[in-house]
Amino acid sequence: MADSTIKSTTEVPKENRLGLKALDYGGGKSTLCAGCGHDAVTNQIIRAFYEMSVKAENVAKFSGIGCSSKTPAYFLSRSHGFNSVHGRMPSVATGAILANHKLIGIGISGDGDTASIGLGQFMHMVRRNIPIIYIIENNGVYGLTKGQFSATADEGSKLKSGVVNDLPPMDLCALAVELGCGFVARGFAGDPKQMVNILKASIAHSGTAVIDVISPCVTFNNHEGSTKGYTYSKEHQELLHQIGFVPSYEQIEVDYEPGTVREVTMHDGSTVLLRKLEEDYDPTNTIQAISRLHEATQAGQMLTGLIFLTPEKKSFTELLNVVDQPLYSLTADVTKPSREALDAIMQELM
């Protein structure tokens, strides 16, 4: 298989632009099973935020319930975190971001958390285009409740006990595209380079960024017959393109033949590079995105890359036309109307 990323020539420095080290973006010690895909995703989150020089105090972490949802405790300990209830993190994140739209929101969910109990909230969050990076750590099972199938389990995939899943999987990327999400990607916990590039691009995005990460559960879904284990995923990973990310403050220093790379400028001025592989994939074409995802499912491919990207879509907070200062910080001089205002209302009612 081709490399999943476009090699960057700039070296990663020992300190980022805030003078911080990667360690400063770490969190508590993980209590997940050794080898769990979720820990691999955590590591790439740390790296992406570090490399993007994000001020952790301005980040708010959210999650639902599940092994995956525990991970916000394992990264960015300088950021406030909120481990909420099963499937309903999108609403909590929505409220927090309305209260303070300057926060950089990142939500971690699982396939059970998002595709079953939380499907409704997930869809409405996407529909509203809440500015948040929403990561589904997708292992095809409910890890925390010991391995039952989730709604993303592939048809024919087998539990350890031998039980076979007869129901078709839900494709959360296709769903997000359908709902008009401006940033839809699929990654793989076993492909950290691609993952970190997707994550950096998502940090640069200003609306909802949905990232479905195939993140194997080594304890309950990594055996012969499972379709979301490491070996199976590696064998079936299919790249849409090679991905590269150049932050706004850097020059694009990659050489490529004209016509082989798409450049997409993000909200913050950074650039996403997508180098063509066999096919010419246009990530701004809804129809192509959905049909390519369907083809992949039919062919048994695990399609990864930046599936859909339209950075210009207005986010919910922009639509609400709120004042620039975070709402929560407004004081009574702004939020308590005058005595005359109450008099006028009372007069009206007399």
Ligand X SMILES: Cc1ncc(C[n+]2csc(CCOP(=O)(O)OP(=O)(O)O)c2C)c(N)n1
* Residues of this chain that bind other proteins (CB under 8 A): 56-58, 60, 62, 72-73, 77-85, 88, 90-100, 102-103, 120-121, 124, 128, 317, 320-324, 326-332, 334-337, 339, 341-342, 345-346, 349-350
SS3 228: coil
Name the helix (H) or strand (E) containing 275. strand 271-276
Q: Is 33 in the site for ligand SF4 (CB under 6 A)?
A: yes
The answer to whether 182 and 313 have CB atoms below 8 angstroms apart is yes
Q: Is 154 in the site for Mg ion (CB under 5 A)?
A: no
Number of amino acids touching ligand SF4 (CB under 6 A): 12
CB of 31 to Mg ion, least distance (A): 16
Q: Which does 145 bind (CB under 5 to 8 A by kind): ligand SF4, ligand X, other proteins, none?
A: ligand X
The answer to whether 237 and 188 have CB atoms below 8 angstroms apart is yes
- b/e string for 288-316 if b means 16 or more Cβ within 10 A? bbbebbeebbeeeebbbbbbbbbbebebb
CB of 147 to other proteins, least distance (A): 21
Figure out which of the listed residues 121, 139, 165, 237 binds Mg ion, where binding follows CB under 5 A: 139
Q: Report the distance separating Cα 278 and Cα 187, nearest Å.
A: 19
Q: Which of residues 43-72 bind ligand SF4 (CB under 6 A)?
A: 67
> Across-strand partners of 133?
106, 209
- Of 117 and 218, which has the nearer Cβ to ligand SF4? 218
Which residues of this protein are in contact with ligand X, per CB under 6 A? 65-68, 86, 110-113, 137, 139, 141-145, 150, 217
Name the helix (H) or strand (E) containing 209. strand 208-214
- Of 111 and 171, which has the nearer Cβ to Mg ion? 111
